[in-house]
Each structure stands twice: as structure tokens, then as C-alpha cells.
Structure 1
Amino acid sequence: MRPGRALSTPSFFIDIDGVLYGGSAPVSKGPGVLAYLRSRGFPFLLVTNTSRMSASDIQEKLADLGYQVSADEILPVSLAAVEYLTHKFDAARCFLIGDDSLAGLLEENGHTVSRKEEPADAVVIGQSFWADFGEIDIAQRLALQGTEVIALHRDATWPDGDVIRIGLGPIVAAIESVIDGAVTVIGKPQRAFFDAALSRTGFARADTVMIGDSIASDIDGAINAGLRSLLVRTGNSAKESVPAGCDDALDSIADLPHWCNTQFPE
């Protein structure tokens, strides 16, 4: 670990896609890591920019891969976006670029969803394999009329097994290039996302370690939010060097127990 104040009892924010699993397979020996953290009394919250699944959906997928975790231990960016909309608008009229799972989550929490060009309180941009130019065109026209544009994240890419898929970053950049103002981004690396996670858990900022595979979203975001950070060399960062300010790097999440035993011997 880089020089600095020693942690007392650590808490962990753990990214999911590219860290706990890749595509349809768990990281080797990954499921045992969460059991290890429980055995040591080290609390954790799984945090993800994935916008295509709810916490329950993610919990079910992780269970199928051998991970024992509850939905309450998962904070997806989709839920953070819903909380933002509820706080700001109570019941928002949303023009949505995103899949049906995000639409369902919005509607379950009192918001209305449209995919047509009509008056809206917010344009909400989530991950979708089927986003097209027409939807982006409607989004920018609504933005030019003063509608707030809310993107669940602005990651350029995301790992899907051995495939790197395009993220929301290019869509956000396209809209920002034609509107007078910035898009509101909810997920990592935004400090507000980490603040919301700290508030939800009660973790101490100075004792919380963010574990992730994305330097831009996970590591830089954690550093800017005043957290410690561990880069794992799976997913997005397999060939990346350790950035300045990052505490340490692991080849895989499976190496976390050894790291903890070294840093926090029993």
C-alpha cells in the first residue's frame, strides 16, 4: 500500500463487471473472496455503473455464479439515478434512452417513461444495445428546450467477457457537443455517487477502499472522493500501469485475501 495513514478496520466498495465476473463466468476463486471478507468482519458494498440490471437482477446473476450476496449489498447506478430523480422531481416525466429493465425501475418508483418526443422533465440515458440516432436526436432537441439530461455514467467502454462494448460516453459527448450546458452524470467517477454510497452504508471515508478495474471510473473517482483504491488487472485494466495516487494493484480479486492478511494481520 502506498505511504499514508494506516487504515483501522477497512471497508470496501467493489466494482462488479470485470472484477467479480467477466461475461458469463465468475473470476477464478472470486466467490470465496466475499466469504473471506465476512469472516474477517470487513464490510463491503458492491457498486456498479451497470444500468441494464436492478439490484435484484444483479443479485440473481451473482448467485448463479456462486457469489452469496443480498440485494441490499448492491448499489447499481440505476438505483442512484432513480433516487436523484425522486429527490429533484418527485415524479418525473422521462424521455428514456435505455432498456426495459431501466424503464421498469423508473416506473416502479413513480416516474413516467416515454420513448417519443413530448414534453419531459428529464432525458435519462442508460445502456442499451438498441440506441439509435433518432433517439439521440430527440434527446438533444429536448435538451435545447431546457430539459435536464441525466446520464447514468459516461464510461467510454465496458467489458463483456472477452468483448469490449461501447459505453454511454460517446452518446453523452454527442449531446454535449450541441447543447449549451453539461450533462448530469450520476455514476462513477462522480463524487456524488461515492458520497451516496458512504451515506447508505455509514462507512468511514478514510477507511474505505474502492476496488475496481477501470482507472477512469473506479480509481480516479475514488481518489477524487477521498477514498483509498485498489486496481485489479482484469476487465478494463489488464494492461494498464498503476496510476499515481492508487494504493496498490492486484492481478485479480482472488488476491484480496492475501492483501488483507498482509495489511491487516489477524
Structure 2
Amino acid sequence: MPKAILLDISGVLYEDARPLPGAVEAVRQLRDKGYPLRLVTNTSRLTAAEIHRQLSGMGFGLSPGQIFSAPQAARRYLAAHGLRPYCLIHPNLEEEFADLLDLPQPNAVLVGDAESRFDYAHLERAFHLLIEGAPLIAMGDNRYFHSRGALRLDAGPFVRALEYAADTQALVLGKPSADFFNGALHTLGVAPQDALMIGDDVEGDVLGAQKAGLQACLVRTGKYREGDEARAPGAGLAADLADAVRRYC
């Protein structure tokens, strides 16, 4: 049995601002059983504060400190390395990154899920900084996410385009980076082999967690696609979060 639980958020706890069936009760059961929890997310359209506000409004009894997000990891990395980023990010993140916007002479490119800002002008600006030697830093490289009943493009395809154009490789600070999982576990004081990651993304959540040494469970909600489980031998499989808690916790 695991000693701590890491949960993806979108597609596991909720979809389109509505909690998935049984998810609120499943989180309550995990709390009642005494599991330390971290909600780990590559979501880069919302600040951690907004994520917590939304979860609270859905009935999830979680604290802000239980959220571990890729934008938070990016801020820590930039500060630790004294970087001045050109921020290709979503407008919703501007409040969290206000002190890093429009810096003179940027020496790094930071990419999140910028949505409509993934246009020629913004990508061209990033490209020129990269070919001048700036590092490419990505909050995540997810291909897509699930929203409003369909799959939507995430930041990953645009990160790959910049890598190809500038002949560089991105440093990914969110899932599936082992450093991201280890950072979340460090806040819990738990070794990787003693933690269980539950997610709907076979690449970012499940394979990433397994490579970092965690146990992993794939749920058939959110962005799950039929047959994804075949790509992650050794991982658990559950219908949803409630089923995963019954089976593996």
C-alpha cells in the first residue's frame, strides 16, 4: 500500500468545472485514511490560487499547499538560475508572473499553454531568442487535454515546433519530468517507491511517474484513450478516481 498519493486534477477530479462522479467522496476517503496528498498538475491556464478556488467551490476540501503546479515549479527554477524570461503564457497566468513580464533583454524562453497567443508573432519572437542561445523552458509538453467534450491542443506541439525550428531541446519542468515528481514528493517527505500517482494521461502521469520510481494508476476518464493501458505495463487501471481508491488505497 502506498504511503502518499499524488493526484492529477483535470480529468481525474473534474471536467469542465464539474466534479467527476464519486471524486469528491474519494478525496474525502483519502483524507480520512490519513494519506498525505499532493495535487500535481501541468495546468498553465490557471494560477494555483484559482485552481484552489475552483476546487473549493466544487466541494473538494483541500488546502492551497496541497497543490503542486508546473507554473510554480517554473517560477522557482527561473529565480534559482537568475533568468529573465520571455513569457509565452496564457493571459490567466499574468497575475502570477507579473514581475517577469516584459523584462528587458530576456535570456530565456518560458512556454506554457498560451492558447491564442501561439500565433506567428509570439512564436517568431521566441524563435529568435532561442537561436541567439536562450534556453527553452516548458511548463509541460502535453500533446492535448480534454475540455468541453473534446480533446484540445496543449503546449507540447508548440514546444516541439520551437525545438525543431531552433535546433534545441526544451527543459520540461512539469510532468513527465522526474524532477517534477521528486519535487512534489520532497514536500511530502516520501520516497518515490512509497507513493502512488493517479492520472488520466498515460504519458505525463503514468509513464512519467513510473520512470521516476513511483507506483502509478491510470483512470479511464479525462484524456484517457482506449488502449492507453497497453503502453504502461505494471500500472494499475481503474474506471475513475473512486474505483482507484477502492482498488489501490
Q: Same fold (TM over 0.5)?
A: yes
- Could you say which structure has the larger radius of gyration? 1
Opposite residue 245 of structure 1, the aligned amino acid is P
What SS does structure 2 have at the residue aligned with 1:42?
Answer: coil
Alpha-carbon distance in structure 2 between the residues aligned to 1:172 and 1:98: 12
Q: For residue 234 of structure 2, what is the aligned residue in structure 1?
A: 246
Q: Compared with structure 1, are the counterparts of its residues 254 and 181 closer, same or farther at alpha carbon in structure 2 (3 Å cutoff)?
A: same
Q: For residue 81 of structure 2, what is the aligned residue in structure 1?
A: 88
Matched, 1:105 2:92: no
Q: For residue 221 of structure 1, what is the aligned residue in structure 2?
A: 208
TM-score (norm 2): 0.94
Alpha-carbon distance in structure 2 between the residues aligned to 1:127 and 1:175: 14
Alpha-carbon distance in structure 2 between the residues aligned to 1:240 and 1:212: 15
Matched, 1:57 2:44: no
What SS does structure 1 have at the residue aligned with 2:81?
Answer: helix
Alpha-carbon distance in structure 1 between the residues aligned to 2:53 and 2:225: 27
For the 8 Å contact 2:198–2:218, the answer to whether it is kept is yes
Alpha-carbon distance in structure 2 between the residues aligned to 1:172 and 1:201: 30
For the 8 Å contact 2:219–2:244, the answer to whether it is kept is no
TM-score (norm 1): 0.88
For structure 1, the residue ranges without an aligned partner over 5 or more in a row are 1-6
Identity %: 30
CA-CA distance at 1:238 after TM superposition: 4.2
Q: For residue 3 of structure 1, what is the aligned residue in structure 2?
A: none
For the 8 Å contact 1:96–1:113, the answer to whether it is kept is yes
What SS does structure 1 have at the residue aligned with 2:97?
Answer: helix
Alpha-carbon distance in structure 1 between the residues aligned to 2:95 and 2:153: 23
Superposition map of 1:54-203 within 5 A: 54-89=47-82, 92-107=83-98, 111-114=99-102, 119-131=105-117, 132-203=119-190
Q: How many residues align?
A: 247
What SS does structure 2 have at the residue aligned with 1:235?
Answer: coil
For structure 2, the residue ranges without an aligned partner over 5 or more in a row are none
CA offsets 1:123-175 (integer angstroms, 9 cap, x no match): 11111221211100110100001111111111110111412110111111111
CA-CA distance at 1:246 after TM superposition: 3.4
CA-CA distance at 1:15 after TM superposition: 0.2
